[in-house]
Amino acid sequence: MKIALLGIGLMGLPMGRRLCQAGFELHVWNRTHERAQRLSAFGATVHGTPQSAVQGADVVITMLEDGAVVAHVLFELGAANAMQPGSLLIDMSSIKPSEARDHAARLSEIHIAYMDAPVSGGTIGAEEGTLAIMAGAKTSTFPIAAPVLAVLGRATHVGPIGSGQLAKLANQMIVGITIGAVAEALLMCEKGGADMAKVKEAITGGFADSRILQVHGQRMIERDFSPRGRMSVQVKDLRNALATAQEIGFDAPITGLFERLYAQGIDHGLADLDHAGLFVELASRNGMT
């Protein structure tokens, strides 16, 4: 199977490496050519344009910043028109459900199948092939994508086109809100004189335990905010969730509160920190370092 991967960033690089190691013929493109070039060592063919990368591909995977960038690459840079009829586009970017449905409709006009399949698990999951993949597609499309997705993680078909993005919004709402809860709780303990690391140890295994506590809580304890998932991406996802909630007439006040908190952190220069960097914003509010 010939695969094209468009977008070789923090997630695209380890995903591309796994696809190469699984024996797929991989063709890659990235706006910054040097980033794509890193996959040549694993056998990928690097292209200078997205049109060149997708020609003759059975499956095209996009892992791009947001819906506007996906649309730009597909429909303005010409990737969609360069794809062969009967091929499949798997968009693994995190975009709005409404954008996913629009892209699917436009691709259908030129006889290209579509699946929205955003992921959760971060760079660790991408490297280990353990990503949680939320797929929205026609029932007939999922089996075609399954062998590719199996290399990257565990895929679940959650419903029709757009449903994958709805599931990802739910994931990002839970992640963003839980990071805030963990940060606020650990900071309060430290402010009161307790040892944050020991508090984390004490509540591990109880009802407050979670992967967020274990992974992001540890980053907070170590003050390690090097980006795996950036603050700027987290706020983008929360805004997508709020926009979708408005479209369907759903009130999401908790998500709204955390969107404002992340946005304020970004206003204070934290955009490029890991999303656990909300800890820094909450620490600053409390006069803590």
Q: Among all residues, which ones are annotated catalytic?
A: 168
Among residues 84, 61, 85, the alpha carbon closest in space to that of 73 is found at: 61
Number of H helices, E strands in the chain: 14, 9
Q: Residue 184, Cβ neighbours under 10 Å: how many?
A: 17
Q: Give CA–CA dist 227/225, Å, rounded.
A: 6
Residue type at position 88: L
163-191 helix and 231-248 helix, angle to the nearest 10 degrees:
130
Backbone dihedral region for residue 153 (phi beyond 0: left; psi -120 to 50: alpha; all else: beta): left
83-122 core/surface letters (b: 16 or more CB in 10 A; e: else): beeebbbbbbbbbbbbbbbbbbeebeeeebbbbbbbbbbb
163-191 helix and 196-203 helix, angle to the nearest 10 degrees:
130
Q: Give CA–CA dist 49/16, Å, rounded.
A: 17
